Structure 1
Amino acid sequence: MKLRKVTAAASVALALAVTATACGGDDKDSDNAGSGGGKITIGIKIDQPGIGQKTPDGKYKGFDVDVATYVAKALGYDAGDIEWKEAKSADRETMLQRGDVDFIAASYSINEEREAKVDFAGPYLLAHQDVLIRANDNSIKDPKDLNSKKLCSVTGSTSAQNVKDKLAPKAQLQEYGGYSECLTGVENKAIDALTTDDSILAGYAAQAEFKGKFKLAGFKMTNENYGIGVKKGSDLKAKINKALEKMVSDGSWEKAVTANFGPANYKNEPAPKIGNIVK
């Protein structure tokens, strides 16, 4: 009986030793990323076609998704190791500070206020505020042409107000609950133009159901430097920057741009250099 007990105990000890060895041999990135058993948690938008979208079948797609997937692979994670989490604009800094996610790629523009709270790798895309109009509308060729036009953006956004304050003071602001509602308004001629980042607008216009219906005006009213947010002081910043540089050099970045924005004839800026923030 004693022999059987000792043997059982030895077997358990051996199993634990093997498990510990296997865990110790994990070659994934060790800078706190994916600390939950070989997984990495990434914050993205899930409601922005072309940028970050959760499809009805539960999959994720978009430019930010492609960038995040590439970066995760460079850090040692397969696509199946990624746990996607919605990162709403107002929650992004808090999510990073609390450690809810390892990094965030969610049309996350770098600015001084945010840099005081989190660190940014990148930028990996230079976007601009623009307007989306009907493809056959030739009446809006300059931001000033938005005067007396019905200009839409989502509730709480500063995009439309920026246009009214700086470029077209007589624009008639319309706030809807979501970009898709604004888009429907433009399509039905209840709205003349929708404004936000050109990358987001291109993502919507690139959807199959909207093919040929809309166009970007190409106004480039602001510079939006998209970065990947990480927790303040994280070593991941340098590792992600290295991955982004490789993504550009091996052609994967351009491929992702074409796949997600190409159908909208989006005239994207060249890939920005790491640390080069365009004011």
Structure 2
Amino acid sequence: MRKTRYAAAAMAAAAALTLSACGGDSGSDSAASGDGENIRIGIKFDQPGLGFAESGDYSGFDVDVAKYVANELGYSEDQIEFIETPSAQRENMLENDQVDMIFATYSITDTRKEKVSFAGPYFVAGQDLLVRSDSDITGPEDLNGKTLCSVTGSTSAQKVKDGIANDVNLVEQPSYAECVTAMQGGSIDAVTTDDIILAGLASTDANKGQFKVVGNTFSEEKYGVGIQKGSDKCEDINAAIEKMIEDGAWEEAIKKNTEGADYTFNAELNPPTMDACA
């Protein structure tokens, strides 16, 4: 009898270990269920006011929204692992299961939706230009014969060339900060991306007084939360964003992260309405 009881106990222990091993190999599905695992969130590390990393600290509007959403999904702040997600790598990082969600000024487009899914939007930006403070450029129509910079993987500059200024010269850099450095050196005339990104760049201590946001937006860019194709988390993420808007934390985060940049979000576009989940 004693041997039988020992054998039964051993079998039960082995079964428990087997179940534990199976549960520990659940990949991104477990990481998106708030069950004690960490959640991996992709952000930019080089966009002041949106996604910025310095000495292990993460700040910006994207970061604040990501933290709020993660908390609503059941994760404490110490369960969040922020991962640098450059523009050119966003789809690949989701497809390769390197991140669970992306909050990285990730515009929702039909082309991108062929590879990934989106929740949101959590903000609607407008494309604009950043120029030197003494520049006479007042809008994209002034860019013919000029040099325009954007980051690798972004669609912003190509939109200008295709639809507004066909003779503009395009230059790509790995980051917007490097575009600004090139403009400081005189090799480019303008940087283009969304107005809130440019406001963040212009408001840093190093750039104050040197540059200005033209303030003549010419597009609408819906910032979505990038998730893996077919993810079942879209509805939960949308509910979290709507709660953030309703309780005032959303607007508070915008004001905090654009302070000193003379920036006001477009009230006709924001707060945004959530798109239907595919």
State the TM bucket, normalised to the shorter chain: 0.7 to 0.9
Identity of matched residues, %: 50
Partner of 1:273: 273
Letter in 2 for 1:118: V
Distance 1:154 1:114, change over 3 A: closer
Partner of 1:49: 48
Distance 1:227 1:156, change over 3 A: closer
**Structure 1 residue 60, shift from structure 2 partner:** 1.2
CA distance in 2, matches of 1:172, 1:207: 27
In the alignment, structure 2 segments of 5+ residues that lack a partner are 24-28
Q: For the Cα contact (< 8 Å) 1:50–1:200, is it kept in 2?
A: yes
**Structure 1 residue 276, shift from structure 2 partner:** 7.6
Partner of 2:111: 113
Within the candidate set 202, 212, 218, 1:215 is matched to: 212
1:18-64 deviation digits (Å, cap 9, x = unpaired): xx9xx9xxxxxx86516784311111122222221221x11111111
Letter in 1 for 2:211: F
Matched, 1:197 2:194: yes
Q: For the Cα contact (< 8 Å) 2:129–2:215, is it kept in 1?
A: yes
CA distance in 1, matches of 2:154, 2:226: 21
Letter in 2 for 1:198: D
Partner of 1:178: 175
CA distance in 1, matches of 2:165, 2:265: 25
Mean alpha-carbon deviation: is it higher for 165-174 or for 30-39?
A: 30-39
**Structure 1 residue 157, shift from structure 2 partner:** 4.2
Tell me the matched-pair count: 256
Partner of 2:61: 63
1:142-178 deviation digits (Å, cap 9, x = unpaired): 3222223332223554433322332123333344443
Matched, 1:92 2:90: yes
In the alignment, structure 1 segments of 5+ residues that lack a partner are 24-29
CA distance in 1, matches of 2:97, 2:35: 12
1:1-279 equivalences under 5 Å are 32-33=31-32, 37-55=36-54, 57-137=55-135, 139-155=136-152, 157-269=154-266, 270-275=270-275
TM-score by length of 2: 0.80
Letter in 1 for 2:44: K
Letter in 1 for 2:43: I
Name the SS of the counterpart of 1:263 in structure 2.
coil
Q: For the Cα contact (< 8 Å) 2:149–2:192, is it kept in 1?
A: yes
